[in-house]
Structure 1
Amino acid sequence: MKKKKKLVIPHEHGGWAMVSVPFLTGMAVAAPQWIHAPLFVGWLLLYLASYPLLQAVKRASNRAYMLKWGAGYALGALACLIVPLIDRPQLAYFGIPLVALLAVNVWHSKRKTERALLNDLCAIVSFSLAAAAAYLAGGGEWGAKMAALTAFNLIYFMGTAFFVKTVFRERQNSRWTAYARIYHLLALIVPLALGSPLMTIPFVFPALRAFAYAGKAMRPAKVGIMEIVGALQFLILTVLLFPE
């Protein structure tokens, strides 16, 4: 009997948070518009397309099957993005950094070094740019406010990358535990430096998490729950506290 093929989707819960939370913060801080619906679906499909693409680069087995899924997702994304791009032509500018960042991810996948910190950084920068795109689609303008919102998303999710490394692959590496804790302390300072003191509050939870659990053995399910709770509190508090 022919083996039934499964739906090809990413399995990392952190990725689902990263693909949605920055976009939602940008949309809410600007103003929700009808254009956000096709834009988000297109963005989600681009994320889904990247997964089979990177898997195809990494492994020769099932390469044609993975590329078929990637092409299907990409075509769906293109169909969804046509209207937003016509309505907001400036959104096309985000394609340049996204392609460049994806190239770095492809390079790491080909060499099977996906867990490298640089690879994490490039992926998180890509996700964080969704905050800027959604902000622009909601009537926001290029400028310091857009940059700050993007930066806060980047800082938050980069912190999750540090934390996850300290409870799994680098759990017994005391230097990584120290790096994670120092990073989260610095993350508390950045909003103050940018003149947004209330935005320190969304970074309190991840800082407490880093000091309480970094370097300790944890079940993946518990880490996943913490990531979901952290992402939700960041989303809610950012929408409430980001300066007008």
Structure 2
Amino acid sequence: MKKTRFVIPREHGGWAMVSVPYIIGMAAAKPVLLHLPLFLAWLGLYMASYPFLQSLKKTSQRKTWLSWGIVYALIAIAFLIPVLVFKPMMLWFAPVLLILIMVNVWHVLQKSERALLNDICAILLFCTGGAAAYMLGGGGFDPILAAVIGYNFLYFTGTVFFVKSVFRERKNRRWTVYAKLYHAVMLVLPIFFGNPWMCLPFLFPFIKTLLYSGKIMKPMKVGIIEIVGSVQFLLLSMILM
């Protein structure tokens, strides 16, 4: 890695996870001006996590990774300050984030960052951004907050099953079955949550899994499908949730 090159997260799905739950949470409440600096702080935290975690794995260039991590972290703190000044209750999210981040760090140190548990904790971490956005906009501990966290968690967990079934676990028939079964359940689960219309955002993931799970796919094609899936989930959730 050259020092002159910008360091940004390479996990394309992470960009959707850092933004979609946040936007849904903001839309579910009342958008306010503070949502902008909070999102920029949230984005800065996400961008800082990548070089910090890389520094745990690639010790030969640790100083470079740490330097980028510190830069992004300082940017995140700068945008977070006005939010905390006007809404100090946002600090209550810090312990939750810290616990989930430590789980991620532990998996990196164990060289098992692809473990399903680590993926689930990462998704929960991103869903926390949606919860923060909702509460910043005047929301509270209510069914809508549960919906913001729950539906985002269910959707992005499904993307983990799908991506694993076409890449790392493509030859493992069990993962193909798991992916299809998971998406079939997600297609009807909103009915039991009392909002049958929320079945619609899970229709596209169900169809893509039936068509492609367990098959050879180019990364670009998977990326395009996931972008389309995230956009349709975002738009439909904002309308139907």
Same fold by TM-score, threshold 0.5 exceeded?
A: yes
Indicate conservation of the 8 Å contact 1:41/1:77, yes or no. yes
Aligned pairs, number? 240
- Once the two structures are overlaid, the 10-residue window that deviates more, 11-20 or 38-47, is 11-20
CA contact (8 A) 2:197 2:240 kept: yes
RMSD in angstroms over aligned alpha carbons?
1.0
Deviations, residues 132-154 of structure 1 (Å, cap 9, x unaligned): 11111111112221011111000
Q: Where does residue 142 of structure 2 map in the other structure?
A: 143
2:49 alignment partner in structure 1? 50
Shift of 1:189: 2.6
- Output aligned runs, 1:129-140, within 5 Å: 129-140=128-139
Q: Distance in 2 between matches of 1:128 and 1:7?
A: 27
Q: Aligned residue for 2:200?
A: 201
1:87 aligned partner: 86
Tell me the distance in 2 between the aligned counterparts of 1:88 and 1:195. 32
1:120·1:161 contact (CA, 8 Å) conserved in 2? Answer: yes
1:140 corresponds to which letter in structure 2?
Answer: G
Distance in 2, matches of 1:152 and 1:85, equals 27
CA–CA separation in structure 2 for the residues paired with 1:149 and 1:196: 13
Report SS of the residue matched to 1:61: helix
Identity %: 53
What residue number does 2:109 align with?
110
Aligned to 2:162: 163
Deviation at 1:86, TM superposition (A): 2.0
Q: State how 1:114-129 maps to structure 2 within 5 Å.
A: 114-129=113-128
Deviation of 1:84 after TM superposition, in Å, equals 1.1
Q: What secondary structure, in the 3-state scheme, does the structure 2 residue paired with 1:62 have?
A: helix
State the alpha-carbon separation in 1 of the partners of residues 190 and 84 from structure 2. Answer: 32
Q: Distance in 2 between matches of 1:57 and 1:171?
A: 29
Which 5+ residue runs of structure 2 have no aligned equivalent? none
Aligned residue type for 1:16: W
The answer to whether structure 1 residue 192 and structure 2 residue 208 are counterparts is no
- 155-164 or 67-76: bigger deviation: 67-76
Contact 2:3 2:64 (C-alpha < 8 Å) held by counterparts = no
CA offsets, 1:204-225, max 9 Å, x none?
Answer: 1001111111000000000000
Amino acid in structure 2 at the alignment position of 1:145:
I
Retained in 1: the 8 A contact 2:28–2:144? no
1:183 aligns with 2:182: yes
* Separation in structure 2 between the aligned mates of residue 190 and residue 55 of structure 1, nearest angstrom: 37
Distance 2:137 2:190 in 1: 23
Give me the TM-score of the superposition, normalised by structure 1.
0.96
Which segment drifts farther, 166-175 or 80-89?
Answer: 80-89
**2:72 alignment partner in structure 1:** 73
Contact kept? 1:166, 1:215, Cα under 8 Å: yes
Q: Counterpart of 1:27?
A: 26
Poorly superposed stretches of 4+, deviation over 2 Å:
none
Q: Which digits, 9 at most, give the CA deviation of each residue in 1:48-76, with x for residues without a partner?
A: 01000110111212111111111111111
Q: Which residue of 2 aligns with 1:36?
A: 35
Q: CA–CA distance in 2 between the matches of 1:91 and 1:27?
A: 14
Q: Partner residue of 1:10?
A: 9
Amino acid at match of 1:109: V
Report Cα offsets for 1:66-91 as digits up to 9, x if no partner: 11111111111111011112222221
8 A Cα contact 1:58 1:111, kept in partner: no
Indicate the residue corresponding to 2:210 in structure 1: 211
2:59 alignment partner, SS class: coil
User: How far has the Cα of 1:163 moved from its partner?
Assistant: 0.3
